[in-house]
């Protein structure tokens, strides 16, 4: 066991981390928490019903090097078989970046690009190879009906290229929850990579990251980036930037204070107007929050409107993303 | 211009020498009695930057020099960088080397710098270099002679602008040559396996540190505000919960008011907590970067302290960013520009210049008289600007140099009205035969009777109206003998 938990190369960790992101996003609705370099497997996702997805992420540094792919497959089957003994596995996944995971040119066409195949969907040669290993090595605990294979193209020193598929997967997820904001995919990927990578280097194998801890940073990012984008439609872009920069602390103070949030939401509900009309007709009710500022009235007006926009839109985003991730 | 009298004083030693207006032989039976030093002392007393010789430090000595020019007597006093001229009951003070041209102008009446700068090279033949110095080069120390400048000056041509440009280009070349040397040094370090690392310069690192610290302060401020809001939100909700209120929904359901039932409170708290954690992570990252940069700074400081001087030097050289290819390219360009400028100045100098023709005529005449074949002194007037001295053997070269010098002296007299003294140091040295020297000296006596002649030699030449100033032992020796014949 100690060998399996031993630190692998940086590239191997990177692949594990990104495979974990991909697996988590694919199972986001049902997932509760995730662990990278878990006690039994490389990646472990606990679902809402407490069953687990056990995944083995095995990488090769050069995509055209097939010499070790069978050994890696065999190692993965061994540890997945051991994990199966726990009896809580709902899925056993083998994740690799090799385009030829069975070292068989006839089966290669099945694994072009990002691929996900259940055991039953695998070509016969691949199935036979798995059966061969399982029987020879006695990995009998593994129920092959719960086994699948994922191939993620992941190679090269150019990180943009290496993370191409991970970004694509994040984009798919963002699309499902109707988030279309430039740059947010890279920002959240970097946060997730940082959090999961740090986790992978922990020697304590019992630490888990909850779905909440993964999704809330996304909500923060979306709120920060989208709210300003929304009211840019109504205000002069330069003016917004200037006010946001200059009065950042006042904006934060009022958009994060529960007292202020409930005040605005209460009035908004009572007014029964759409967001834009409410802000343009009712902004004067909130002038008290900028009274003490030594600036011109126009800036004060813009500042109040920005605060109101933020409060009303951030609420909406929180609800949408939570719903999308089943949080 | 004639040297009438000189007094040299060094500490308690003093030497006064009076000169004849026509021929003077500074004579000693043996070498190393200070004849050359004595001649140089005259130039030093005139204001020239003459380096000291044989342990005699001119800048520690005092000099009184009396000269005569156009029937006027000038009394010069020099001590270090100070020089004064007494003339017509006026006393003028000068500071050297700044006022050098002004001093020469005062004595000679000539204001043309191109002429003034070349007077010594025309009048003096040093025993070492003088007899091979034909048309350009060093006379003594850093005092140069340049035929182009002299010819320009004598013909009244002005190339100041071109010369200033040339000077600027030469300065740039010098700087780029230094840069190229640095690149060569870096290459050597590289070839010796001491890798060149273009470390970020300290300034860049310090700017980075400052930026990170500012970023850190802003984050801390934001974090502090966030914590404060979280605390206030919590207090507010605790206060509401403590009131133990219950509300009724539209369906008649009774709902106790707690933090769980307050709309949006949990979400808002989660949002703030996440934001706080994200800010803290960013802060951790910034702190890590600051620590790493500070650590590096500390290490570099320590390294510099313990490094040997040469290591520190190498380390600094490695940090200098020099592009050897670009430097070479600029150097090539500047050198080509310098050549073009020089050619341009030379063309300007030669164009419609009567002095060139006269000089050539005069040189050819003397060369012929001294028996130099026409194959050596070309018929082409441009010959006077030649740089080809290698093909000339010793005796021939000396005779040609002598011809050139006489021509310069004649033209300086004709064009600028300066009657230079002719000062020869050991003319019979090297490959010059005694008879040749006597012929040369006779030419001087024949064609340059107005010019004072001062010769330093171990030979007492047979010349008319000569005054022999004999050096017995050392230059500052009281046993010297003066004889007139």
For B109-142, what is each residue's pLDDT tens digit?
Answer: 999 999 999 999 999 987 766 666 778 888 888 8
**Contacting residues for A179 by C-beta, under 8 A, at least 6 apart:** A222, A226, A320, A321
**Contacting residues for A222 by C-beta, under 8 A, at least 6 apart:** A179, A181, A184, A317, A321
Helices then strands, counting H and E runs in chain A, come out as 13, 7
What is the CB-side half-sphere exposure of residue B148 using CA atoms within 13 A? Answer: 19
Omega of the bond prior to B97 within 30 degrees of 0, cis?
A: yes
Is the model's pTM score more than 0.90? no
Q: Which residue in A199, A256, A265, A313 has the most chain B C-beta atoms within 10 A of its own C-beta, making it the best mutation to test that interface?
A: A256
Measured between CB atoms, does B270 come within 8 Å of chain A? Answer: yes
- H runs (alpha helix) in B109-257: 113-116, 119-123, 147-155, 160-191, 202-242
As given in the structure block, the two tokens for residue A327 are: 């949080």
Lowest mean pLDDT among B102-116, B191-205, B319-333: B191-205
Measured between CB atoms, does A219 come within 8 Å of chain B? Answer: yes
DSSP letters, B289-344, are: HHHHHHHHHHHHHHHHHHS-HHHHHHHHHHHS---HHHHHHHHHHHHHHHHHHHHH
DSSP state of B199: P
Residues in chain A with CB shorter than 8 Å from the CB of B225 are: 249, 252-253
User: Is B378's pLDDT higher than 80?
Assistant: no
Q: How far apart are CA B285 and CA B83, in angstroms?
A: 70
- The residue ranking higher by pLDDT, A148 or B322, is A148
Look at B264 and A261 and tell me if their CB atoms are within 8 Å.
yes
**Contacting residues for A2 by C-beta, under 8 A, at least 6 apart:** none
Look at B271 and A217 and tell me if their CB atoms are within 8 Å.
no
Task: Please give, rounded to a whole number of angstroms, the shortest distance from the CA of B317 to a CA of chain A.
Answer: 32
> A3-50 pLDDT, tens per residue?
443 334 678 888 988 999 999 999 999 999 998 874 444 899 999 999
| Mean pLDDT along residues B202-221 | 89
DSSP letters, A178-233, are: T---TTHHHHHHHHHHHHHHHHHT-S-TT--EEHHHHHHHHHHHHHHHHHHHHHTT
Number of other residues whose CB lies within 10 A of the CB of residue B252: 6
Look at B271 and A261 and tell me if their CB atoms are within 8 Å.
no
pLDDT band at A256 (very low <50, low <70, confident <90, very high): very high
Q: Which residue has the tokens 């590096």?
A: B296
- Residue in A194, A213, A258 nearest the CB of B265: A258
Measured between CB atoms, does B211 come within 8 Å of chain A? Answer: no
Look at B229 and A252 and tell me if their CB atoms are within 8 Å.
yes
What is the CB-side half-sphere exposure of residue B207 using CA atoms within 13 A? Answer: 5
**Contacting residues for A318 by C-beta, under 8 A, at least 6 apart:** A219, A223, B267, B271
Look at A318 and B267 and tell me if their CB atoms are within 8 Å.
yes
Residues in chain A with CB shorter than 8 Å from the CB of B221 are: 249
Residues in chain A with CB shorter than 8 Å from the CB of B288 are: none
Question: What integer pLDDT is reported at residue A133 of this predicted model?
Answer: 93
Residues in chain B with CB shorter than 8 Å from the CB of A217 are: 274, 277-278
Look at A252 and B263 and tell me if their CB atoms are within 8 Å.
no
Measured between CB atoms, does A295 come within 8 Å of chain B? Answer: no
Q: How many CB pairs under 8 A join A and B?
A: 62
Look at A249 and B271 and tell me if their CB atoms are within 8 Å.
no
Question: What integer pLDDT is reported at residue A2 of this predicted model?
Answer: 37
- Residue in A194, A216, A259 nearest the CB of B270: A216
- Residue in B225, B232, B277 nearest the CB of A249: B225
Q: How far apart are CA B16 and CA B5, in angstroms?
A: 7
Residues in chain B with CB shorter than 8 Å from the CB of A262 are: 262-264
Question: What integer pLDDT is reported at residue A14 of this predicted model?
Answer: 87
User: Is A206's pLDDT higher than 60?
Assistant: no
Question: What integer pLDDT is reported at residue B73 of this predicted model?
Answer: 93
**Contacting residues for B124 by C-beta, under 8 A, at least 6 apart:** B39, B43, B130, B139, B140, B423, B424, B425
Q: How far apart are CA B409 and CA B404, in angstroms?
A: 9
Question: What integer pLDDT is reported at residue A202 of this predicted model?
Answer: 53
CB-CB contact of A47 with A30 (8 Å): yes
Question: What integer pLDDT is reported at residue B193 of this predicted model?
Answer: 67
Distance of CA B425 to the CA centre of its chain: 29
> B450-484 pLDDT, tens per residue?
999 999 888 888 787 888 888 876 666 654 455 55
User: Is B28's pLDDT higher than 50?
Assistant: yes
Residues in chain B with CB shorter than 8 Å from the CB of A256 are: 226, 229, 233, 268, 271-272, 275
Residue A94: phi, psi to the nearest 5?
A: -105, 120
Question: What integer pLDDT is reported at residue B429 of this predicted model?
Answer: 63
**Mean pLDDT highest for which of A282-286, A306-310, B50-54?**
A282-286
Measured between CB atoms, does B275 come within 8 Å of chain A? Answer: yes
Residue B38, SS3 per DSSP: helix
Nearest CA in chain A to B220: A249
- Residue B466 bridge partners (DSSP): B23
Q: How far apart are CA A179 and CA A222, in angstroms?
A: 8
CB-CB contact of B419 with B451 (8 Å): yes
- Residue B8 bridge partners (DSSP): B15, B63
Which residue segments constitute the domains of chain B, with CATH numbers given?
A: 1-109+418-485 (3.40.50.300), 202-320 (1.10.287)
Residues in chain A with CB shorter than 8 Å from the CB of B266 are: none
Measured between CB atoms, does A245 come within 8 Å of chain B? Answer: no
Look at A248 and B281 and tell me if their CB atoms are within 8 Å.
no
Q: Which residue in B261, B278, B280, B282 has the most chain A C-beta atoms within 10 A of its own C-beta, making it the best mutation to test that interface?
A: B278
Measured between CB atoms, does A117 come within 8 Å of chain B? Answer: no
| Mean pLDDT along residues B32-39 | 84
Among left, alpha and beta (phi > 0; psi -120 to 50; other), residue A145 is alpha
Residue B391: phi, psi to the nearest 5?
A: -75, -5
Q: How far apart are CA B89 and CA B107, in angstroms?
A: 15
Lowest mean pLDDT among A108-112, A307-311, A315-319, B432-436: B432-436
Residue A47: C-alpha distances to residues A18, A27, A210 (Å) = 19, 8, 11
| Mean pLDDT along residues A189-214 | 75
| Mean pLDDT along residues B28-32 | 78
Proportion of chain A above pLDDT 90, given as a percent: 60
Nearest CA in chain B to A259: B233
Q: Any idea what the Cα angle at residue B116 is, between residues B111 and B120, rounded to 5°?
A: 160
User: Is B219's pLDDT higher than 60?
Assistant: yes
Measured between CB atoms, does B288 come within 8 Å of chain A? Answer: no
**Contacting residues for B276 by C-beta, under 8 A, at least 6 apart:** B223, B226, B227, B230
> B245-295 pLDDT, tens per residue?
999 998 999 999 998 999 889 999 999 999 999 999 999 999 999 998 898
> A125-181 pLDDT, tens per residue?
999 999 999 999 999 899 999 999 999 999 888 888 999 999 999 999 999 988 888
Question: What integer pLDDT is reported at residue B464 of this predicted model?
Answer: 78
* ipTM greater than cut 0.90: no
Q: How far apart are CA B208 and CA B297, in angstroms?
A: 12
Residues in chain A with CB shorter than 8 Å from the CB of B238 are: none
Q: Which residue in B233, B259, B262 has the most chain A C-beta atoms within 10 A of its own C-beta, making it the best mutation to test that interface?
A: B233
- Residue in B262, B265, B271 nearest the CB of A219: B271
Strand order in the sheet with B466-470: B124-125, B422-425, B453-457, B23-27, B466-470, B481-484
Residues 163-192 of A with CB under 8 A from B: 191
């Amino acid at each position: 066991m100690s060998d399996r938990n031993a630190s692998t190369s940086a590239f191997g960790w990177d692949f594990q981390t990104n495979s974990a992101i991909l697996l988590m996003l694919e199972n986001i609705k049902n997932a509760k928490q995730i662990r990278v370099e878990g006690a039994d497997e490389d990646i472990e996702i606990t679902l809402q019903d407490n069953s687990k997805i056990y995944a083995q992420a095995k990488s090769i540094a050069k995509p055209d090097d097939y010499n070790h792919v069978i050994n890696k497959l065999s190692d993965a089957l061994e540890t997945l078989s051991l994990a199966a003994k726990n009896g809580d596995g709902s899925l056993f996944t083998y994740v690799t970046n090799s385009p030829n995971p069975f070292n068989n040119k006839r089966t290669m066409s099945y694994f072009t690009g990002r691929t996900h195949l259940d055991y039953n969907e695998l070509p016969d040669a691949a199935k036979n190879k798995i059966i061969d290993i399982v029987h020879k090595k006695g990995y009998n605990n593994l129920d092959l009906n719960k086994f699948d294979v994922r191939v993620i193209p992941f190679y090269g020193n150019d990180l943009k290229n290496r993370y191409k598929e991970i970004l694509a997967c994040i984009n798919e997820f963002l699309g499902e929850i109707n988030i279309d904001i430039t740059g947010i995919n890279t920002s959240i990927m970097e946060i997730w990579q940082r959090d999961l990578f740090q986790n992978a280097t922990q020697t304590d194998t019992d630490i888990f990251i909850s779905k909440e801890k993964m999704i809330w940073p996304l909500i923060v990012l979306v709120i920060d980036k989208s709210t300003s984008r929304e009211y840019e439609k109504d205000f002069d872009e330069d003016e917004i930037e200037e006010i946001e920069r200059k009065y950042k602390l006042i904006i934060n103070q009022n958009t994060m204070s529960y007292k202020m949030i409930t005040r605005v939401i209460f009035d908004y509900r009572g007014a029964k107007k759409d967001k834009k009309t409410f802000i343009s007709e009712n902004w004067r009710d909130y002038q008290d929050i900028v009274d003490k500022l030594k600036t011109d009235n126009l800036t004060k007006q813009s500042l109040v409107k920005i605060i109101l926009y933020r409060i009303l839109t951030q609420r909406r985003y929180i609800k949408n993303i939570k719903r999308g991730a089943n949080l | 211009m004639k040297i009438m009298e000189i007094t040299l004083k060094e500490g308690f030693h003093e030497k006064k020498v009076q000169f004849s207006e026509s021929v003077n032989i500074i004579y000693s039976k043996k070498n190393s009695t200070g004849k050359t030093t004595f001649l140089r002392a005259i130039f030093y007393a005139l204001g020239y930057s003459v380096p000291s010789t044989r342990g005699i430090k001119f800048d520690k000595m005092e000099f009184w020099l009396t000269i005569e020019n156009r029937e006027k007597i000038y009394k010069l006093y020099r001590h270090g960088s100070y020089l004064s001229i007494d003339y017509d009951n006026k006393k003028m003070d000068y500071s050297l080397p700044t006022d050098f041209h002004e001093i020469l102008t005062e004595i000679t009446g000539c204001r043309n710098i191109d002429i003034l700068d070349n007077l010594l090279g025309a009048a003096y033949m040093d025993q070492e270099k003088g007899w091979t110095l034909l048309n350009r080069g060093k006379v003594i120390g850093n005092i140069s002679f340049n035929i182009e400048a002299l010819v320009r000056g004598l013909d009244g041509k002005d190339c100041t602008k071109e010369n200033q440009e040339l000077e600027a280009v030469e300065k740039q070349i010098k700087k780029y040559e230094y840069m190229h040397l640095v690149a060569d040094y870096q290459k050597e370090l590289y070839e010796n396996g001491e890798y060149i690392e273009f470390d970020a310069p300290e300034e860049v690192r310090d700017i980075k540190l400052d930026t990170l610290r500012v970023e850190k302060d802003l984050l801390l401020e934001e974090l502090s505000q966030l914590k404060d809001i979280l605390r206030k939100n919590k207090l507010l909700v605790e206060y509401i919960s403590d009131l133990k209120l219950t509300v009724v929904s539209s369906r008649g359901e009774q709902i106790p008011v707690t933090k769980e039932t307050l709309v949006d409170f949990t979400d808002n708290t989660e949002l703030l907590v996440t934001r706080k954690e994200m800010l803290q992570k960013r802060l951790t990252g910034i702190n890590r970067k600051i620590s790493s940069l500070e650590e590096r700074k500390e290490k570099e400081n320590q390294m510099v302290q313990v490094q040997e001087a040469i290591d520190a030097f190498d380390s600094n050289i490695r940090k200098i960013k020099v592009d050897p290819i670009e430097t070479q390219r600029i150097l090539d360009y500047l050198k080509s520009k310098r050549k073009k400028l020089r050619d341009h100045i030379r063309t300007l100098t030669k164009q419609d210049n009567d002095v060139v023709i006269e000089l050539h005529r005069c040189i050819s005449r003397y060369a012929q008289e001294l028996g130099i074949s026409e194959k050596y002194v070309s018929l082409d007037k441009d010959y006077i600007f030649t740089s080809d001295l290698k093909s000339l053997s010793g005796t021939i070269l000396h005779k040609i140099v002598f011809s050139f010098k006489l021509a310069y002296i004649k033209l300086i007299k004709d064009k600028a009205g300066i009657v230079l003294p002719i000062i020869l140091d050991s003319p019979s040295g090297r490959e010059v035969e005694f008879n040749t020297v006597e012929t040369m000296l006779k030419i001087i006596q024949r064609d340059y009777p107005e010019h004072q002649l001062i010769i330093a030699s171990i030979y007492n030449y047979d010349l008319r109206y000569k005054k022999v100033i004999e050096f017995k032992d050392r230059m500052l020796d009281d046993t010297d003998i003066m004889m007139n014949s």
